[in-house]
Amino acid sequence: MNFSTFLKERRNRLKLRSSKEHYEELGGKAQLGIELRQFQQIESGKYPPSEKVLVGLFQKTPSSQRHTLMKAYFRSVLTGMKGAKSLNDFLDTSLSPGIDSEEASVWEAEAEVRPRRIYSEEQLDFLIKNADAMRLHKKLTLYEVWEESNAQTAKAKIDELERLDLLRREDGKLYPSNTLYRLPNYENSGPGPVAHSYKYIQGQVDLYASKEGAKNQELGYGMQLVTPEVAQTIVAQMNSFKRWVQSNASSKTDDSVVPLIFVGFTKWLEPREL
């Protein structure tokens, strides 16, 4: 995406009827340092953006879109320049998506109306040992309601999910528990529950991964020697990306959204672990 495309998509997203409205919404000459005619030329792709236009637009752009803005800017100003590809490639691999911290995620919003607890070892043990029960549990977590007749899970297992407070039954329909459960981790639980968390996540990978590969699936792997500083950066970047993924959870359940699973693992090893 270049700068012109970014501006056009922004204008459409804000439902602004003209370049003039867009120019004024951005603060006009006082904020952008250019006349309307110059802005129209930039928006149409006939003229590269200036640094002041970038700064003015950056301030009006949500954090989650700023990395796209920066890449679009450099693609436009470096067009035709020798060495531009290596710089653009660097930006593609080095700029991480931002997070709009002022916007609560779906999970945070849910936590305001539903009590929160940590999964018990008994709950996790049952889900780990029963893949069909785990699949039903995840369906209810995402879609909030499911016909019991279409559950494709044995009645005895649905009974056990209900006993474990992992679903509710009502008028032939299944609903998620009123309680919002979270996985135990090393900061809030002992070694036993944390080990069950690992097996639970591993179980979902086994359940949903296409072993032969698929176009809608990406598997990345690397094991190499790096400096401690790089190792710390990789861990921090993965945590940042995980938060960005979580921040994009949708409250919709119709055909406009798709279920997505994301699992990340990275660790720098002690010599004795190798």
All residues at 6 or more sequence positions from 151 whose CB lies less than 8 Å from its CB, including other chains? 136, 158, 174
**pLDDT tens sequence across 60-72:** 998 778 888 998 9
**pLDDT tens sequence across 150-205:** 888 999 999 999 999 999 999 999 999 999 999 999 888 999 999 999 999 999 99
HSE (side-chain half, CA atoms, 13 Å) at 186: 1
- pLDDT value of position 249: 86
Q: DSSP assignment, residue 166?
A: S
User: In this model, does residue 251 exceed pLDDT 70?
Assistant: yes
Of 52-56, 66-70, 259-263, give the lowest mean pLDDT range.
66-70
All residues at 6 or more sequence positions from 168 whose CB lies less than 8 Å from its CB, including other chains? 162, 174, 175, 176, 177, 178
Helix or strand holding residue 268 (H, E): none
pLDDT interval class at 6 (50, 70, 90): very high
Question: Mean pLDDT over residues 72-95, rounded?
Answer: 83
User: In this model, does residue 133 exceed pLDDT 60?
Assistant: yes
Burial class (CB in 10 A: 0-12, 13-18, 19+), 39: buried
User: pLDDT over 90 for what percent of the chain?
Assistant: 66
Question: Mean pLDDT over residues 207-226, rounded?
Answer: 93
CA 62-68-74 angle, to 5 degrees, is 125
Whether 168 contacts 142, CB under 8 Å? no
Residue 27, phi-psi category: left (phi > 0), alpha (psi -120 to 50), beta (remainder): left
pTM: 0.65
Whether 125 contacts 183, CB under 8 Å? no
Domains of the chain, residue spans: 3-94
Q: Is 180 helix (H, G, I), strand (E, B) or coil?
A: strand
Whether 7 contacts 13, CB under 8 Å? no
User: In this model, does residue 256 exceed pLDDT 70?
Assistant: yes
- pLDDT value of position 176: 93
CA 196-198-200 angle, to 5 degrees, is 70
Burial class (CB in 10 A: 0-12, 13-18, 19+), 236: exposed
- pLDDT value of position 5: 94
CA 76-80-85 angle, to 5 degrees, is 80
Token pair listed for 24: 């004024």
Question: Mean pLDDT over residues 100-120, rounded?
Answer: 66
Please tell me the distance from the alpha carbon of residue 128 to that of residue 204, in angstroms, as a whole number: 9
Comparing 249 with 224, the larger pLDDT belongs to 224
Average pLDDT, the chain: 89
Query: How far, CA to CA in Å, does 84 sit from each of 2, 73, 112, 220, 243?
Result: 13, 12, 48, 27, 31
Question: Mean pLDDT over residues 1-21, rounded?
Answer: 93
Please tell me the distance from the alpha carbon of residue 231 to that of residue 66, in angstroms, as a whole number: 25
pLDDT interval class at 20 (50, 70, 90): very high
User: In this model, does residue 102 exceed pLDDT 50?
Assistant: no
Comparing 205 with 247, the larger pLDDT belongs to 205
User: pLDDT over 70 for what percent of the chain?
Assistant: 93
